[in-house]
A and B are shown apart, each in its own frame.
Chain A
Protein backbone atom coordinates (compact mmCIF):
# COMPACT_ATOMS: atom_id res chain seq x y z
CA UNK A 1 0.00 0.00 0.00
CA UNK A 2 1.40 3.37 -1.01
CA UNK A 3 1.54 6.04 1.67
CA UNK A 4 2.63 9.65 1.38
CA UNK A 5 3.67 11.50 4.53
CA UNK A 6 4.01 15.27 4.40
CA UNK A 7 6.13 17.44 6.66
CA UNK A 8 6.94 21.12 6.90
CA UNK A 9 5.94 24.35 8.63
CA UNK A 10 2.39 25.63 8.71
CA UNK A 11 3.32 29.30 8.94
CA UNK A 12 5.48 31.22 6.47
CA UNK A 13 6.23 34.91 6.45
CA UNK A 14 5.42 37.01 3.37
CA UNK A 15 8.24 37.16 0.79
CA UNK A 16 9.87 34.05 2.30
CA UNK A 17 10.10 30.51 0.91
CA UNK A 18 7.50 27.81 1.54
CA UNK A 19 9.17 24.39 1.89
CA UNK A 20 7.39 21.05 2.22
CA UNK A 21 8.54 17.45 1.95
CA UNK A 22 6.63 14.32 0.97
CA UNK A 23 7.98 10.95 2.11
CA UNK A 24 7.06 7.92 -0.01
CA UNK A 25 6.46 4.40 1.31
CA UNK A 26 5.27 1.45 -0.73
CA UNK A 27 6.71 2.87 -3.98
CA UNK A 28 9.88 4.49 -5.28
CA UNK A 29 10.55 8.04 -6.38
CA UNK A 30 12.36 6.35 -9.31
CA UNK A 31 9.16 4.58 -10.44
CA UNK A 32 8.68 4.49 -14.21
CA UNK A 33 4.91 4.27 -13.79
CA UNK A 34 4.39 7.26 -11.50
CA UNK A 35 4.92 10.99 -11.22
CA UNK A 36 5.11 12.92 -7.97
CA UNK A 37 2.94 15.99 -7.73
CA UNK A 38 2.10 18.96 -5.53
CA UNK A 39 -1.47 20.28 -5.48
CA UNK A 40 -2.98 22.97 -3.29
CA UNK A 41 -6.53 23.81 -2.25
CA UNK A 42 -8.01 27.09 -1.07
CA UNK A 43 -11.60 28.31 -0.74
CA UNK A 44 -11.04 30.94 -3.43
CA UNK A 45 -9.17 28.81 -6.00
CA UNK A 46 -10.33 25.26 -5.31
CA UNK A 47 -7.87 22.50 -6.21
CA UNK A 48 -4.89 23.83 -8.14
CA UNK A 49 -2.13 21.67 -9.62
CA UNK A 50 1.31 23.17 -9.02
CA UNK A 51 3.80 20.81 -10.58
CA UNK A 52 5.48 17.41 -10.64
CA UNK A 53 8.74 15.53 -10.87
CA UNK A 54 9.26 12.11 -12.42
CA UNK A 55 12.01 9.78 -13.58
CA UNK A 56 12.19 8.29 -17.07
CA UNK A 57 15.89 7.47 -17.45
CA UNK A 58 16.49 11.02 -16.25
CA UNK A 59 14.60 13.51 -14.10
CA UNK A 60 11.86 15.70 -15.53
CA UNK A 61 9.81 18.55 -14.05
CA UNK A 62 6.60 20.24 -15.13
CA UNK A 63 5.18 23.36 -13.48
CA UNK A 64 1.95 25.32 -13.66
CA UNK A 65 2.35 28.61 -15.50
CA UNK A 66 0.88 30.51 -12.56
CA UNK A 67 3.84 29.61 -10.31
CA UNK A 68 6.54 28.66 -12.80
CA UNK A 69 8.86 31.54 -11.91
CA UNK A 70 8.75 30.74 -8.17
CA UNK A 71 8.57 26.96 -7.81
CA UNK A 72 10.97 24.05 -7.56
CA UNK A 73 10.07 20.40 -7.05
CA UNK A 74 13.01 18.12 -6.39
CA UNK A 75 13.45 14.43 -5.68
CA UNK A 76 15.54 13.28 -2.74
CA UNK A 77 16.63 9.85 -3.87
CA UNK A 78 18.55 9.03 -0.68
CA UNK A 79 15.37 9.37 1.41
CA UNK A 80 12.78 8.29 -1.20
CA UNK A 81 10.94 11.58 -0.96
CA UNK A 82 10.36 14.76 -2.92
CA UNK A 83 10.04 18.39 -1.95
CA UNK A 84 8.28 21.60 -2.85
CA UNK A 85 9.84 25.04 -2.64
CA UNK A 86 7.72 28.08 -3.43
CA UNK A 87 9.55 31.39 -3.29
CA UNK A 88 8.37 34.94 -2.60
CA UNK A 89 5.09 33.86 -1.06
CA UNK A 90 2.16 36.21 -0.44
CA UNK A 91 -1.05 35.72 1.53
CA UNK A 92 -2.62 34.43 -1.72
CA UNK A 93 -0.40 31.36 -1.38
CA UNK A 94 -2.17 30.39 1.85
CA UNK A 95 -3.80 27.02 1.23
CA UNK A 96 -3.81 23.34 2.12
CA UNK A 97 -0.93 21.76 0.22
CA UNK A 98 -1.08 18.11 -0.85
CA UNK A 99 1.47 15.80 -2.38
CA UNK A 100 0.00 13.15 -4.66
CA UNK A 101 1.08 10.22 -6.80
CA UNK A 102 0.03 10.35 -10.44
CA UNK A 103 -0.26 7.08 -12.36
CA UNK A 104 1.58 7.18 -15.68
CA UNK A 105 -1.00 4.92 -17.31
CA UNK A 106 -4.24 6.76 -16.61
CA UNK A 107 -2.91 10.16 -15.46
CA UNK A 108 -4.97 10.50 -12.33
CA UNK A 109 -3.96 11.05 -8.70
CA UNK A 110 -4.46 7.79 -6.86
CA UNK A 111 -2.64 8.43 -3.58
CA UNK A 112 -2.56 11.68 -1.62
CA UNK A 113 -0.65 12.96 1.38
CA UNK A 114 -2.53 14.05 4.47
CA UNK A 115 -2.38 17.73 3.55
CA UNK A 116 -0.56 20.63 5.23
CA UNK A 117 -2.34 23.89 5.99
CA UNK A 118 0.11 26.67 5.17
CA UNK A 119 -0.67 30.22 6.23
CA UNK A 120 1.34 33.12 4.85
CA UNK A 121 1.33 35.82 7.48
CA UNK A 122 3.67 37.98 9.49
Chain B
Protein backbone atom coordinates (compact mmCIF):
# COMPACT_ATOMS: atom_id res chain seq x y z
CA UNK B 1 0.00 0.00 0.00
CA UNK B 2 1.08 3.53 -0.73
CA UNK B 3 2.36 5.39 2.31
CA UNK B 4 1.25 8.79 1.10
CA UNK B 5 -1.98 10.77 0.94
CA UNK B 6 -2.70 13.26 -1.82
CA UNK B 7 -5.80 15.20 -2.87
CA UNK B 8 -7.45 13.49 -5.83
CA UNK B 9 -7.57 16.57 -8.01
CA UNK B 10 -6.53 20.22 -8.27
CA UNK B 11 -6.91 23.05 -10.74
CA UNK B 12 -4.37 25.74 -11.49
CA UNK B 13 -4.48 28.75 -13.77
CA UNK B 14 -1.89 28.82 -16.50
CA UNK B 15 1.13 30.89 -15.51
CA UNK B 16 0.42 30.59 -11.80
CA UNK B 17 2.28 28.42 -9.34
CA UNK B 18 0.87 24.95 -8.76
CA UNK B 19 1.34 23.72 -5.20
CA UNK B 20 0.69 20.00 -4.79
CA UNK B 21 0.58 18.71 -1.20
CA UNK B 22 1.45 15.27 0.06
CA UNK B 23 1.12 13.75 3.52
CA UNK B 24 3.54 11.03 4.57
CA UNK B 25 3.17 10.93 8.33
CA UNK B 26 4.68 7.44 8.71
CA UNK B 27 7.86 8.18 6.74
CA UNK B 28 10.97 6.49 8.14
CA UNK B 29 14.29 8.18 8.73
CA UNK B 30 15.93 6.54 5.73
CA UNK B 31 13.08 7.17 3.29
CA UNK B 32 13.10 9.86 0.66
CA UNK B 33 10.19 11.68 -0.92
CA UNK B 34 9.96 11.19 -4.68
CA UNK B 35 7.65 12.85 -7.15
CA UNK B 36 6.69 11.47 -10.54
CA UNK B 37 4.06 12.62 -12.98
CA UNK B 38 2.15 10.87 -15.72
CA UNK B 39 0.92 12.78 -18.70
CA UNK B 40 -1.94 11.15 -20.55
CA UNK B 41 -0.90 8.12 -22.61
CA UNK B 42 2.70 8.30 -21.44
CA UNK B 43 4.77 6.49 -18.85
CA UNK B 44 5.48 8.10 -15.49
CA UNK B 45 8.22 10.73 -15.53
CA UNK B 46 10.57 11.47 -12.65
CA UNK B 47 10.39 15.04 -11.35
CA UNK B 48 12.39 15.43 -8.15
CA UNK B 49 13.26 13.81 -4.84
CA UNK B 50 14.50 14.88 -1.41
CA UNK B 51 15.25 13.74 2.12
CA UNK B 52 14.79 16.72 4.42
CA UNK B 53 16.20 19.76 2.71
CA UNK B 54 14.28 21.69 0.11
CA UNK B 55 15.26 20.79 -3.43
CA UNK B 56 14.96 22.58 -6.74
CA UNK B 57 15.64 21.55 -10.30
CA UNK B 58 14.65 22.75 -13.75
CA UNK B 59 11.20 21.21 -13.42
CA UNK B 60 10.04 21.96 -9.89
CA UNK B 61 10.78 22.70 -6.26
CA UNK B 62 10.20 20.33 -3.36
CA UNK B 63 9.48 21.71 0.09
CA UNK B 64 9.64 19.19 2.95
CA UNK B 65 8.42 20.15 6.41
CA UNK B 66 10.86 20.03 9.28
CA UNK B 67 9.15 16.97 10.80
CA UNK B 68 9.16 15.38 7.32
CA UNK B 69 5.54 14.35 7.67
CA UNK B 70 4.43 16.32 4.64
CA UNK B 71 5.78 17.96 1.54
CA UNK B 72 4.73 20.23 -1.31
CA UNK B 73 5.72 20.04 -4.94
CA UNK B 74 5.77 23.45 -6.57
CA UNK B 75 5.57 24.07 -10.29
CA UNK B 76 6.47 27.77 -10.36
CA UNK B 77 4.77 28.74 -13.61
CA UNK B 78 2.32 26.05 -14.66
CA UNK B 79 1.64 25.54 -18.35
CA UNK B 80 -1.01 23.50 -20.13
CA UNK B 81 1.62 20.82 -20.69
CA UNK B 82 1.86 20.33 -16.92
CA UNK B 83 -1.63 18.82 -16.88
CA UNK B 84 -0.99 15.32 -15.54
CA UNK B 85 -1.39 12.98 -12.58
CA UNK B 86 1.28 13.69 -9.96
CA UNK B 87 2.44 10.91 -7.68
CA UNK B 88 4.17 11.40 -4.34
CA UNK B 89 6.13 8.30 -3.28
CA UNK B 90 8.25 7.56 -0.23
CA UNK B 91 11.02 5.00 -0.53
CA UNK B 92 14.53 4.27 0.55
CA UNK B 93 17.33 5.69 -1.58
CA UNK B 94 17.93 2.56 -3.60
CA UNK B 95 17.64 2.36 -7.32
CA UNK B 96 16.85 -1.32 -7.41
CA UNK B 97 13.62 -1.30 -5.46
CA UNK B 98 10.23 -0.82 -7.05
CA UNK B 99 8.02 2.22 -6.80
CA UNK B 100 4.71 1.93 -4.96
CA UNK B 101 2.21 4.26 -6.57
CA UNK B 102 -0.87 5.64 -4.87
CA UNK B 103 -3.72 7.32 -6.67
CA UNK B 104 -1.90 10.63 -7.10
CA UNK B 105 -3.30 14.10 -7.75
CA UNK B 106 -4.80 14.95 -11.10
CA UNK B 107 -3.63 18.48 -11.86
CA UNK B 108 -5.56 20.39 -14.48
CA UNK B 109 -3.91 23.56 -15.74
CA UNK B 110 -6.54 25.89 -17.12
CA UNK B 111 -5.96 28.59 -19.73
A binds B: no
- A→B interface (CB under 8 Å): none
Which B positions have Cβ atoms within 8 angstroms of A? none
